[in-house]
Amino acid sequence: MSRYGPMYGPDITFLGVDRCDVADPATYAGADVVIIGAPFDGGTSNRPGARFGPMALRQACYLPHDGSRPSLALRVDALRDLRVLDAGDVECYSGDVEGSLAAIEDAVHRVASSGAIPLVLGGDHTVALPDARGTARAYEPGRVSMIHFDAHADTGDIEFGHLYGHGQPMRRLIESGAIRGDRFLQIGLRGYWPGPETLSWMAEQRMRSYEMTEIVARGLDECLTESFRIALDECDRIFLSVDIDVCDPGHAPGTGTPEPGGLSARQLLDAVRRICYELPVAGMEVVEVAPPYDHADITAFLGNRVILEALSAMARRRKDDEGGPRWDPLQPLLDGR
């Protein structure tokens, strides 16, 4: 069902964590997080190359790949304080969109059903459909909401003659009933797509989309706080989708559909940390990292750090819930606590 990189990269795991096999639940029994590669970019509308994203995200780090990453800010080592495993890559083929998506959804659902958090390395954003649907299927219907970072709404209907692609997964998710439209929060939208017809459909679903002009005017923290209230209303868990093109191309050039004027790398890392510390995350994905268009691995490094921020925040949340001294972001680094 899965393998480590023979398709699109070297035979490695994420920063050296232990391996598991999605087909054998015993290998990830008791895991907190299972990483799954989804090297699929058959849904791209502009520049392909995100199929190489999982490989880049696994290895983009200048530190030893020894399964350890202590966080200076959060005072945890997520790769050791949590049981994080890597299930390798789902076999995906650009010529078989539906078959690839079905295989990804099966892998994600198996992991979510075990009680672990599936963390998917994309791939283009087409994989949001199987990622979020596979996660939501493991829980009570209608109880998983979505927080979606992206430059684009990805709510198109039929694009280039197809129902499936990286511009349509959010519409397919809502249509399928996996995620409620009125519990679908989008952050970072900007640019010149979609058009009025698609925006009208989004309004009918009662989606909440924070365009960059609103984020600049109100502040990202205020927009996040509001989105958290909506996401947790009648929902118990969150699926977090991070399209790396939510960042300005100056911070993330290696992506298929870059759009100027986005978040900074710092804003994205802070937002992901806050979400995974404050909210009950059931599943997550980082998508649209396309190494062929990257410069000096800027985008791959950012994507890798998005994952580490998420894991570190999850580890800190658990530590605080267990009754230890709560994390204080203003705590001096060298005060010994």
Residue 125 assigned to a binding site: yes
Residues 6+ apart with CB under 8 A from 30: 83
Residue 66 assigned to a binding site: no
| Helices 128-136 & 169-176 angle (0-180, nearest 10) | 30
Amino acid at residue number 255: T
Q: What span, in angstroms and rounded, lies between the C-alpha atoms of 29 and 112?
A: 11
Residue 152 assigned to a binding site: yes
Closest CA to 128 of 143, 110, 148: 148
Residues 6+ apart with CB under 8 A from 193: 152, 153, 167
Closest CA to 272 of 229, 302, 235, 234: 302
Residue 150 assigned to a binding site: yes
Give me Rg for the CA atoms of the chain: 18
Give residue 295's region: left, alpha or beta (phi > 0; psi -120 to 50): beta
Residue with tokens 């800010």: 73
Token code pair at residue 151 = 């430059």
Contact 325, 288 (CB under 8 A): no
Q: What span, in angstroms and rounded, lies between the C-alpha atoms of 292 and 256?
A: 9
Residue with tokens 């997080």: 33
Residue 154 assigned to a binding site: yes
**Alpha helices, H only, the chain:** 53-59, 78-81, 97-113, 128-136, 169-176, 196-204, 212-218, 220-231, 265-278, 298-321
- Residues belonging to the binding site are 125, 150, 152, 154, 243, 245
- Residues belonging to the binding site for Mn(2+) are 125, 150, 152, 154, 243, 245
